C-alpha cells in the first residue's frame, strides 16, 4: 500500500513510519523536518506544514491511506510553562481539518488518526488523578484533541481514532485494544501503538470507531 504519514518525525510518527516500512509499504513522510529521517528504500521525505492546503493537494493523490500523528513532542511541563516552540496548540485540529478537506478532494476515504486517551467518551473513564494532571498540564492540547475528533466524526471518511494511554519509548510490543474505552495498563510503548496503526491500515477494521490502546 502507499501510505501518507503526517507528523512523521514525532515519537509516534517515527514509530508508525518504521513499522509500516518494515511491513513492506511505500511511505510518504510529511512533517516540518521530514528530511531529518534516515533515508530508506520505499520512503519519500517531504518537509512541510500539515495545514498547507496547496501542499496537501499535491501530495495526497495516489495514496491509499492517510495516518495522522500530529502533536506537540516537547516535554509537557516546559510546554505548560513556556509554551511550545513553533508548534501551535491547535495543530491537531487545524491540521486534521485541512487533511480531511484535502482527502475529499483527492478521493481518499481511509484515515487513521492518533488522539489521546481521555478525549471524548473515554474522558469519563479517567481516574481523578489523571483528570487533575491533564487539567494542570495539557488542558489546551486536550481541548484541541476534542476538536480534532469532532472534525473526524463529522466527516464522511472511513476514519478510525487511536487513543493510547501514557506513551513510553521502550521496545515492548505488548498491548491491549478495545472499542469501549476499557484499558489494561497505564502505559503503552509507541512501538506497540504503531503496530495497532499498521493493523488498522492493513485490515481496514474499526471503521468509524475509537480504539483505546494500553499496555
Predicted pLDDT of residue 133: 74
CA distance 197 to 123: 22
Percent of the chain, pLDDT > 70? 91
For range 69-79, the mean pLDDT: 63
Give backbone dihedrals phi and psi of 54, rounded to 5 degrees, phi first: -65, -45
CA angle 141, 190, 197 (to 5 degrees): 90
Statement: the pTM of the whole predicted model exceeds 0.75 = yes
pLDDT computed for residue 127 by the predictor? 85
Nearest to 18 by CA among 192, 165, 166: 192
pLDDT in tens, 119-172: 989 988 888 887 777 766 677 888 999 999 999 999 999 999 999 999 999 989
**Comparing 141 with 61, which gets the higher pLDDT?**
61
Provide the grid cell at 60.
495526497
pLDDT of residue 77: 45
Q: Is the pLDDT of residue 79 over 70?
A: no
> What is d(CA 158, CA 96) in angstroms, rounded to the nearest whole number?
14
Q: Which helix (DSSP H) or strand (DSSP E) does residue 189 occupy?
A: strand 187-189
CA distance 89 to 106: 27
**Closest residue by Cα to residue 181 from 129, 136, 115, 91:** 115
- Average pLDDT taken over every residue of the chain: 91
Asked whether 175 and 166 are in contact (CB, 8 A), the reply is no
Q: What is the pLDDT of residue 87?
A: 65
Q: State the Cα–Cα distance between residues 123 and 80, nearest whole angstrom.
A: 21
Indicate whether 85 pLDDT > 80.
no
Residue 48, CB half-sphere, CA atoms under 13 Å: how many?
Answer: 21
Tell me: pLDDT of 178 over 80.
yes
Q: Do 210 and 151 touch, CB atoms closer than 8 A?
A: no
In the predicted structure, residue 203 carries a pLDDT above the cut 80: yes
**Structural domains of the chain, ranges and CATH numbers in brackets:** 2-214 (3.40.50.720)
How large a percentage of the chain has pLDDT more than 90? 78
Q: How far apart are CA 115 and CA 75, in angstroms?
A: 17
Amino acid at each position: 500500500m502507499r501510505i501518507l504519514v503526517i507528523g512523521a518525525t514525532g515519537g509516534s510518527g517515527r514509530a508508525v513510519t518504521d513499522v509500516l516500512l518494515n511491513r513492506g509499504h511505500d511511505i510518504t513522510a510529511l512533517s516540518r523536518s521530514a528530511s531529518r529521517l534516515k533515508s530508506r528504500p520505499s520512503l519519500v521525505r517531504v518537509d512541510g506544514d500539515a495545514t498547507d492546503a496547496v501542499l496537501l493537494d499535491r501530495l495526497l493523490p495516489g495514496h491509499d491511506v492517510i495516518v495522522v500523528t500530529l502533536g506537540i513532542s516537547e516535554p509537557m511541563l516546559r510546554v505548560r510553562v513556556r509554551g511550545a516552540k513553533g508548534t501551535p496548540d491547535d495543530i491537531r485540529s487545524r491540521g486534521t481539518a485541512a487533511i480531511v478537506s484535502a482527502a475529499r478532494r483527492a478521493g481518499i476515504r481511509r484515515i487513521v488518526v492518533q488522539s489521546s486517551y481521555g478525549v471524548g467518551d473515554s474522558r469519563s473513564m479517567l481516574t481523578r488523578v489523571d483528570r487533575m494532571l491533564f487539567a494542570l498540564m495539557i488542558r489546551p492540547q486536550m481541548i484541541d484533541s476534542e476538536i480534532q475528533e469532532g472534525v473526524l466524526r463529522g466527516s464522511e471518511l472511513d476514519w478510525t481514532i487511536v487513543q493510547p494511554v501514557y506513551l513510553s519509548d521502550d521496545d515492548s510490543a505488548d498491548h491491549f485494544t478495545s472499542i469501549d474505552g476499557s484499558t489494561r495498563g497505564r502505559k503503552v510503548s509507541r512501538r506497540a501503538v504503531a503496530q495497532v496503526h499498521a493493523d488498522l491500515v492493513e485490515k481496514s477494521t474499526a471503521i468509524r470507531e475509537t480504539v483505546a490502546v494500553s499496555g
